[in-house]
Amino acid sequence: MRRTMTDDLGKLVLRVSLGVLILLHGLFKLQNGIDGIIGMLASHGLPALLAYGVYI
């Protein structure tokens, strides 16, 4: 099977867009802190200590 330039370009677009999404997700987590995760876990009866494992 022969690779074409459009195949490589398509892979590049997918990788860059996935990288941007992961970066934005990480920045959102850092800006908003762990309080939201603690609240969600506490509402389900789980200990707040688990939030640090979820946060990572």
| Stated pTM of the model | 0.64
Residue 48 has pLDDT above 80, yes or no: yes
Q: How many structural domains does the chain have? A: 1
Residue 55's pLDDT band (cuts 50, 70, 90): confident
For tokens 């934005």, what's the residue? 24
Higher pLDDT among residues 14 and 39, named by residue: 14
Higher pLDDT among residues 46 and 1, named by residue: 46
Q: What is the DSSP string of the chain?
A: ----HHHHHHHHHHHHHHHHHHHHHHHHHHHH-SHHHHHHHHHTT--TTHHHHHH-
Convert the pLDDT of each residue in 21-37 to its tens digit.
999 998 988 898 888 88
Instruction: Give the residue numbers spanning the domain of 44.
Output: 5-55
- pLDDT attached to residue 45: 93
